[in-house]
């Protein structure tokens, strides 16, 4: 009798417990991670293929760097408008269109014969597509699906996008050495396309779409989307945020962040190492190691952001990065030494560790508008990347070396450290939640505390 009661009582309970074990927000975060990695695949190509394109077409480093600069600038300038488009049309539609645009631009490069085509495909198409899945996607997903663990999740997603650009490098270098640069471009096209079915199947726009609430929150945290035009929302976000000193400090710091990572190290480290006699595959492998440690560093930074003053984190990240860049010119050589490995490991840990604390300060000061405002902060990151991508090529063509570029970037990183620590964090006053984007840090902090 007892055994019969047990057998009939347990089956209804077990499935309910199992179905609630994993919150759907984690599934959305996983698919977003894969989308960011897929889009990042093509962004691994330029650094490896600068020398092959020079050999085949006779283009200068400055010419190729110009295409990379256009890519990075559009990658950043698209972000705030992409965040607004996600509010209006949904995350899934925007991400699918972006992946298809990246695949189109990547695939068509195999037919190019002139440098303007390189700018159009690498620069414009891939820049627009990748920019639509930039860090504004991270801000939107974490803002909609998470209340608890936002810092950690933003760190994981940011690491996926950044590390994907670097982890693919050895594979791209090997494919280029075996079958040529065209095969490498087609391979990255396939990587972007492979993610499209997963996004269409699993990615959802809001917790309410699956009958859930944001992780660690309530139904009140699943706010209604902004229904105004995407361009209007993006521009209004910039105008309102520009009244705040915090915005300019964050944007200035992120300009230097992009300059010292995506703009300088990512496209120019491999050619610089090759100038000193290091094989391309070895240099590409070193950048892949940067990508591996970037994952650990950014996730750890997200964890720290939930516990430590984000200004202090940015002070440490930028300051140490600047010091390491001063040392880099002396580390290059034909052989791989332990000192270069130490630099690579550190730079990996620090690569985009700046994102979680920057995003946290953005949320604190701009409330529900943070994804759009952060899109503009990220735009400054990519403008800095574009500046360094082109400027690094010019310095190499004019001086015959990248040494000056590394030293200038190191000095700017020290300036970014001072800018970050000067951000004021006010104690929020006991006031009602503001209904519009705050223009002063004190009001924004109230939005954060009471929202």
Q: Which tens digit of pLDDT belongs to each residue from 15-47?
A: 333 345 788 888 888 888 888 876 666 666 766
58: number of Cβ within 10 Å: 9
Q: Which residue(s) pair with 215 in the sheet? A: 146
The reply to whether the predicted model has a pTM over 0.85 is no
CA separation for the pair 147, 150 (Å, rounded): 6
SS3 21: coil
- pLDDT for the residue numbered 16: 36
Q: At what angle do helices 370-399 and 135-145 cross, to 10 degrees?
A: 160
- Has residue 218 been placed in a domain? no
The confidence score (pLDDT) of residue 164 equals 67
Nearest-angstrom CA–CA distance, 173 and 393: 20
**DSSP letter assigned to residue 437:** -
Query: What pLDDT score was predicted for residue 243?
Result: 87
pLDDT tens digit sequence for 143-195: 788 888 877 887 788 777 666 666 677 777 788 888 888 888 888 788 778 88
Provide the residue range defining the domain that includes 69.
23-210+223-450
Residue 206 lies in a domain: yes
Indicate whether 169 belongs to any domain: yes
265 occurs within a structural domain? yes
Tell me if 54 sits within 8 A of 181, measured CB to CB. Answer: no
pLDDT computed for residue 427 by the predictor = 45
- Helix pair 45-57, 169-179: axis angle to 10 deg: 30
256, two tokens: 């230097």
- For the four alpha carbons of 364, 367, 370 and 373, in that order, the dihedral sign comes to negative
Residue 217 located in a structural domain: no
- pLDDT in the model for residue 314: 94
| Residue carrying structure tokens 């917790």 | 207
Do residues 253 and 314 make contact, with C-beta atoms less than 8 angstroms apart? Answer: yes
330: tokens are 């002396």
- Rounded CA separation 380/374 (Å): 10
CATH of the domain at 241: 1.20.1250.20
**Eight-state DSSP code of residue 133:** T
Across-strand partners of 360? none
Which residues of the chain are under the pLDDT cut of 50?
Answer: 1-19, 426-451
User: Contact 393/62 with Cβ under 8 angstroms?
Assistant: yes
**394 belongs to a structural domain:** yes
Q: How far apart are CA 165 and CA 177, in angstroms?
A: 19
Which pLDDT score is estimated for 386?
A: 86
Q: Is residue 134 part of a domain?
A: yes
176 within a domain of the structure (yes/no): yes
Token pair in block for residue 220? 């009140």
Number of domains in the chain: 1
Classify 5 as helix, strand or coil.
helix
SS3 state at 14? helix
């Amino acid at each position: 009798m007892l055994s019969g009661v047990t057998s009939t009582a347990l089956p209804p309970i077990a499935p309910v417990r199992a179905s609630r074990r994993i919150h759907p927000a984690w599934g959305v975060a996983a698919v977003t991670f894969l989308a960011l990695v897929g889009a990042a695949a093509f962004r691994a190509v330029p650094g490896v293929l600068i020398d092959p394109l020079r050999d085949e077409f006779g283009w200068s480093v400055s010419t190729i760097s110009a295409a990379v600069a256009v890519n990075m600038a559009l990658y950043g300038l698209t972000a705030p408008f992409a965040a607004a488009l996600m509010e209006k049309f949904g995350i899934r539609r925007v991400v699918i269109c972006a992946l298809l645009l990246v695949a189109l631009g990547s695939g068509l490069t195999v037919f190019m014969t002139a440098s303007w085509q390189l700018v159009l495909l690498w620069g414009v198409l891939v820049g627009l597509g990748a920019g639509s899945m930039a860090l504004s996607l991270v801000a939107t997903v974490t803002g909609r699906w998470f209340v608890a663990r936002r810092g950690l999740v933003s760190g994981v997603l940011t690491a996926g996008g950044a590390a994907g650009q670097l982890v693919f490098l050895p594979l791209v270098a090997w494919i280029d050495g075996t079958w040529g640069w065209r095969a490498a471009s087609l391979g990255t096209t396939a990587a972007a396309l492979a993610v499209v079915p997963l996004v269409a199947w699993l990615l959802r726009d809001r917790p309410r779409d699956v009958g859930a609430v944001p992780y660690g929150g309530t139904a009140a945290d699943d706010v209604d989307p902004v229904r105004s035009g995407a361009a209007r929302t993006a521009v209004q976000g910039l105008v309102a945020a520009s009244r705040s000193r915090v915005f300019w400090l964050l944007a200035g710091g992120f300009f230097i962040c992009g300059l010292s990572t995506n703009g300088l190290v990512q496209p120019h480290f491999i050619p610089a190492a090759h100038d000193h006699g290091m094989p391309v595959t070895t240099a590409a492998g070193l950048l892949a190691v940067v990508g591996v440690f970037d994952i650990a560093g950014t996730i750890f930074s997200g964890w720290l952001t939930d516990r430590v003053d984000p200004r202090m984190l940015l002070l440490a990240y930028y300051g140490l990065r600047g010091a390491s860049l001063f040392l880099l010119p002396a580390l290059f050589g034909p052989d791989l030494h332990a000192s270069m490995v130490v630099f690579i490991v550190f730079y990996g840990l620090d690569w985009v560790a700046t994102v979680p604390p920057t995003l946290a300060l953005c949320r604190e000061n701009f409330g529900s508008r943070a994804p759009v405002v952060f899109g503009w902060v990220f735009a400054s990151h990519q403008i800095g990347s574009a500046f360094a991508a082109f400027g690094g090529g010019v310095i190499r063509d004019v001086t015959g070396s990248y040494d000056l570029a590394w030293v200038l970037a190191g000095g700017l990183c020290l300036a970014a450290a001072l800018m970050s620590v000067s951000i004021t964090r006010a104690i929020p006053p006991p006031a009602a939640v503001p209904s519009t984007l705050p223009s002063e840090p004190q009001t924004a902090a109230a939005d954060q505390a009471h929202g």
